[in-house]
Amino acid sequence: MPEIIINGPEGRLEGRYQHGRVPDAPIALILHPHPQHGGTMNNKVVYTLYHAFARKGFSVLRFNFRGVGRSQGTFDRGEGELSDAASALDWLQTFNQNARLCWVAGFSFGAWIGMQLLMRRPEISGFISVAPPANLYDFSFLAPCPASGMIALGDRDEIVPQAAVNKLVERLKAQRNLEIDYRIIPGANHFFHDRLEALNEALDDYLSKAIAPAETAAAR
């Protein structure tokens, strides 16, 4: 799990990277929760996402947004963090130019940034959003959403109400040619305390089902 440094828009971005086992391995970028509320790339949900993709053979990168850990810069209300994510994806693609697939995954604030990145980068073919804060941020830009994916939420989330995420999922499912796998994790709060294994099982199950058809389509 080598430490890497990315040249970001405001200076150095600190990251951790694991290279896939095959030359044309798919790639995944993992985005952490809110920098001003303790979010870092070492968050346990982020770590769980990172290893779920690594187990499936992805080349996977997680990093600290500007102003977090050893990353330079200061919090920029999401605009700068989106630029950071784009720079991280550029880095990931530079070292994996023959990647078969490109995915983005994020937790909470990172899910919001990830979905914005999805709209701006047509090469992203799939996503996972854990506890997307649909009550705190506007997700109406997903019109239409360009890729299918998974949304996961704990049924005891004390920060993101299930009703807000239900509405987001309903809007997405109403779009043509879009499949949203919506997983409610029983007993899980926002940070999935004592429920990380249940989240991990849901991630493994979803990725196992989603990757094979996507790789077949990418190979055509």
Q: Can you give the CATH number for the domain in which 162 is found?
A: 3.40.50.1820
d(CA 46, CA 130): 9
| Residue ranges of E strands in 108-166 | 126-130, 149-154
> In the predicted model, is pLDDT for residue 213 greater than 80?
no
3-state secondary structure of 136: coil
Question: 58: domain range?
Answer: 3-219
**pLDDT for residue 180:** 98
- Structural domain count, the chain: 1
Please give the Cα distance from 178 to 117 (Å, whole number): 17
Beta partners for residue 59, in sequence order: 27
Q: 163-185: per-residue pLDDT in tens? A: 999 999 999 999 999 999 999 99
Which pTM does this prediction carry? Answer: 0.96
